[in-house]
Amino acid sequence: MVIPGPTGAMERAELRIANRLAELERVRLWIEEFAAAHALPMPVLTSLLVSFDEVLTNVISYAYADGGDHEILLRIALRDGAVAAEVEDDGAPYDPLGAPPPDLRGGIGERSPGGLGIHFVRTLNDEVAYERRGNRNRLSFSKRVSAAP
Partner 1 sequence: MEIMIGQSAGVSTVEPKGRIDSLTAKEFGDRVCALIRSGANRVVIDLANIAYISSAGFRALLIAGKLAEESNGRLVLCGVVGEVQRLFDISAFSTAFQIYPTREECIAKVQAG
List of residues contacting partner 1 (CB under 8 A): 21-22, 24-25, 28, 42-43, 46, 49-50, 53-54, 56-57, 104-109, 111, 113, 116-117, 119-120, 123-124
For residue 76, the minimal CB distance to partner 1 (Å) is: 17
Q: Between 53 and 90, whose beta carbon lies closer to partner 1?
A: 53
Q: Between 11 and 87, whose beta carbon lies closer to partner 1?
A: 87
Q: Between 11 and 76, whose beta carbon lies closer to partner 1?
A: 76
Q: Between 12 and 70, whose beta carbon lies closer to partner 1?
A: 70
Q: At what angle do helices 42-62 and 24-37 cross, to 10 degrees?
A: 160
For residue 28, the minimal CB distance to partner 1 (Å) is: 8
Q: Between 106 and 134, whose beta carbon lies closer to partner 1?
A: 106
Backbone angles phi, psi at 52, to 5 degrees: -65, -40
For residue 37, the minimal CB distance to partner 1 (Å) is: 19
Please give, one letter per residue, the 3-state secondary structure of the chain.
Answer: CEEECCCCCEEEEEEEEECCHHHHHHHHHHHHHHHHHCCCCHHHHHHHHHHHHHHHHHHHHHCCCCCCCCEEEEEEEEECCEEEEEEEECCCCCCHHHCCCCCCCCCCCCCCCCCHHHHHHHHHCCEEEEEEECCEEEEEEEEECCCCC
For residue 16, the minimal CB distance to partner 1 (Å) is: 19
For residue 27, the minimal CB distance to partner 1 (Å) is: 10
